[in-house]
């Protein structure tokens, strides 16, 4: 499977690695950004990911780059704890969301393109999408769809989910997709002009909830002062407004020590979107962290 890292040359420009720089890739995934950084100069990169499936890909990177690379299996909301030994970094990158490996592996149950047991847990532990759909109350499901997916039909979809599970459990990704499509058909909501499937927001919402993605981001950002050197660089790639809002508000609240590198956000050019459609909604922000200014 080909994995193309998003906005990789912009990530290199923002992090500006040099020989002996120490960098942290908080969303190792397929190691795309890690490898680009390791190829730029003789820097060191620590890759971190919560997904046990990333371990195998990390082994491959380790084989090639030896002591210039390490991997940690952990959630990025734990970075202060992981590096409490005193390790400090000159740059950190976050590429939020899920990887193409996770989307395309049907055993992970993230995608409605193929029929698969619905699951969506990045860490493979804790409450799954299956648990949410089959045991949460109608009101809680509607709130999840509204808060994390901004799904306008959240109440109707939640009601249809509960009606469906009275007859039989919701086991698969395609069952959930078809429930959402049915709601849109019943309500005669014409989405023909949109290229995006009507089930997309529902899947996004449940995935964000199951993985506690928004809290993970704000907790990790708040811990950065504990693991960064003075003048360290920070790069974040968000894929929807809920993620980007957290980054934007965090930077605003830390104006005394977090300085934006660019006046506005960086988005991919059309040629990158054509080569890598996943980059379509990417929003990149870069910052310099300056301890001397206050914290």
Ligand X SMILES: C[S@@+](CC[C@H](N)C(=O)[O-])C[C@H]1O[C@@H](n2cnc3c(N)ncnc32)[C@H](O)[C@@H]1O
Interface with ligand X (CB under 6 A): 3, 5, 27, 29-33, 48-51, 54, 75-77, 95, 97-99, 122, 216
Residues 6+ apart with CB under 8 A from 233: 14, 15, 16, 90, 91, 92, 261, 286, 287, 288, 289
Taking the least distance from each CB to ligand X, the nearer of 122 and 180 is: 122
The span from the CA of 252 to the CA of 226, in Å, is 19
Query: With respect to ligand X, which residue has the nearer C-beta, 40 or 154?
Result: 40
Task: Find residue 94's DSSP bridge partners.
Answer: 236
CB closer to ligand X out of 75 and 233:
75
Residue 50 or 254: the one with the smaller Cβ distance to ligand X is 50
Find the shortest distance in angstroms from Cβ 112 to ligand X: 19
Q: Which residues contact 194 (CB under 8 A, 6 or more apart)?
A: none
CB of 101 to ligand X, least distance (A): 7
Kindly report the CA angle at 23 between 22 and 29, in degrees rounded to 5?
A: 145
Question: Which two structure tokens, joined as six digits, stand for 294?
Answer: 């206050």
Q: For the chain, how many residues are written?
A: 295
Measured from the CB of residue 48, what is the shortest distance to ligand X in angstroms? 6
Q: Which tokens hold the place of 245? A: 């809002």
Q: Work out how close the CB of 223 gets to ligand X at its nearest, in angstroms, rounded to a whole number.
A: 12
- Minimal CB distance to ligand X: which residue? 32
Cβ contact 129:62 at 8 Å: no
Q: How far is the CB of 137 from ligand X (least distance, A)?
A: 26
Give the nearer residue to ligand X in terms of CB position, either 5 or 268: 5
């Amino acid at each position: 499977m080909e994995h193309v890292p998003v906005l990789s040359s912009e990530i290199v420009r923002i992090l500006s690695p040099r020989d002996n720089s120490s960098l942290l890739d908080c969303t190792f995934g397929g190691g795309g950004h890690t490898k680009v950084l390791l190829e730029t100069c003789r820097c060191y990169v620590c890759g971190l990911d919560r997904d046990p499936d990333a371990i195998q890909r990390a082994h491959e990177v380790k084989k090639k780059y030896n002591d210039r690379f390490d991997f940690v299996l952990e959630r990025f909301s734990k970075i202060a704890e992981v590096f409490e030994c005193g390790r400090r970094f000159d740059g950190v990158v976050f590429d939020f969301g899920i990887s193409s490996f996770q989307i395309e592996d049907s055993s992970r149950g993230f995608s409605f393109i193929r029929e698969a047991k619905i699951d969506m847990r990045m860490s493979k532990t804790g409450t799954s999408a299956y648990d949410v759909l089959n045991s949460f109350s109608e009101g809680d499901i509607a709130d999840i769809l509204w808060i994390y997916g901004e799904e306008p039909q959240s109440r109707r979809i939640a009601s249809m989910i509960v009606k469906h599970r009275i007859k039989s459990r919701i086991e698969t990704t395609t069952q959930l997709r078809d429930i959402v499509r049915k709601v849109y058909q019943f309500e005669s909501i014409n989405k023909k002009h949109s290229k995006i499937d009507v089930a997309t927001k529902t899947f996004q919402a449940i995935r964000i909830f199951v993985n506690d993605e928004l809290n993970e981001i704000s907790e990790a950002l708040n811990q950065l002062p504990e693991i960064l050197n003075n003048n360290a660089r920070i790069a974040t790639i968000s894929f929807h407004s809920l993620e980007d809002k957290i980054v934007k508000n965090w930077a605003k609240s830390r104006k005394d020590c977090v300085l934006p590198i660019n006046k506005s956000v960086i988005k991919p050019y059309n040629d990158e979107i054509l080569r890598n459609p996943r980059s379509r909604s990417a929003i990149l922000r870069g910052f310099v962290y300056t301890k001397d200014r206050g914290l």
